Amino acid sequence: MINVIGLGYIGLPTALMMASHGVEVVGTDYSKELIDTLNAGHTTFKEDGLDELFVKAMDAGIKFTTEYQKTDTYIVSVPTPYDKFSKKVDACFVVSAVKAIMKVCPEGATVVIESTVSPGTIDKFVRPVIEAEGFVIGKDINLAHAPERIIPGNMIFELLHNNRTIGADNKSIGEKIKELYASFCQGDIVVTDIRTAEMSKVVENTFRAVNIAFANELAKICRHDNMDVYEIIKICNMHPRVNILQPGPGVGGHCISVDPWFLVGDYPSLAKVIDESMKTNDSMPDFVLNRIYEIMKEQDLTDLTRVGLYGLTYKENVDDMRESPTLQMLESMERHLCGNLVKVYDPFIERNEVPNQIHDLDEFLNAVDLVVLLVAHDEIKQNMYKLAGKVIFDTRHICNIEGTYGL
């Protein structure tokens, strides 16, 4: 039996996937409300294919509880925030989970850390906690690291098809955990040491962050001299060895916007390119706010209550708002005492999360003169004609209505 600890955006799909492929699974989370929701037959967030997978897992006998189980394998999939000042990973949730596991686990149990951590986190924070309790690593408890590689909006497909990395102290434990993930994973599974596994996950997301920052910096340069960044990128990408990404209003989610900071925090004198790239990405919400101000001046618009922000999530077609550029913009506006003026709408966010949030697209459009497209949801792509007559600021390069403003 596998005890999956932490049933959020990563832990829940992982637990459901294993259960639906014949693995006996108990999912554990500290939130009684979350456990009650799952036991009532409901998933806790929106994701294509998740409800169907949930039904299969329930039929296969998956169980949900707030209690840690006595078993031989644990998968820890809890959040790993970072300190915004030091830029270092905060491993408190991982440490807390490991401490709780030690209270119930039998001798020889394997603890798999699936949460994304900075290189060396398991050495610095997890091993000392285990050893302080008198446990011998490799005898009383085995450690492994299996960093997740999925993205909201395509989780189910990527769980099945993405390659995986397993880090372990010894080959036999690594192969045992590889066999567990191979119960559903159709991609290649590489077994290596723990620190290499830690580093590889952070480097993957850092590579993406640096490339996004290059596109965002191009947007700033082109705006400064009134050039069309989208046309320039299109032409450059015709070169067989060039693939520049599209700029955007910022970077959100809990991977690209967070993981690279781990390297900056741990290697401040070495991670110079990464540091500057992250600062560039973090500056984009304020860059967008400045563009809104410029557009309002040009269009002779003075009423912020007639400005509408389309999109609250950090990417299209998901309900995940973590670190979203829109939230960053609203926080910045709040600091300037105007964050509660603009209208906000997102079809995937049904509850009121921010001031002046509207829950109907037509009502939202009727209430605003300037529409700022911040998320490329399919809904707005399919209803672009409804923006006719509006002033449009498109930060995602999805609108072809004449007169649309870009980054």
- Domains in the chain, CATH or no CATH each: 2-192 (3.40.50.720), 204-394 (3.40.50.720)
User: What pLDDT, on the 0 to 100 scale, is given for residue 237?
Assistant: 97
User: What pLDDT, on the 0 to 100 scale, is given for residue 383?
Assistant: 97
Alpha helices in 61-142 (DSSP H): 92-102, 121, 127-132
Q: Can you read off the two tokens belonging to residue 85? A: 């000042």
User: What pLDDT, on the 0 to 100 scale, is given for residue 153?
Assistant: 85
CA–CA separation, 389 and 370 (whole Å): 10
CA–CA separation, 2 and 27 (whole Å): 8
Catalytic residue IDs: 201, 255
Mean pLDDT by 10 residues, the chain (407 residues): 95 96 97 96 92 96 97 95 80 95 96 93 95 95 94 90 95 96 96 96 94 98 96 97 96 88 92 96 96 96 95 94 94 84 95 95 97 97 96 97 95
Give the C-alpha distances (Å, rounded to integers) separating 16 from 19, 189, 333.
5, 20, 40
| Block residue for tokens 């590579």 | 207
Q: For residue 116, give the 3-state DSSP assignment.
A: coil
Q: Can you read off the two tokens belonging to residue 195? A: 């620190």
User: What pLDDT, on the 0 to 100 scale, is given for residue 345?
Assistant: 98
Q: For residue 284, give the 3-state DSSP assignment.
A: helix
Asked if 66 and 28 count as a contact pair (C-beta separation under 8 A), the reply is yes
Side by side, which strands form the sheet with 370-373?
A: 357-358, 343-345, 307-310, 370-373, 391-394
User: What pLDDT, on the 0 to 100 scale, is given for residue 166?
Assistant: 97
CA–CA separation, 335 and 351 (whole Å): 24
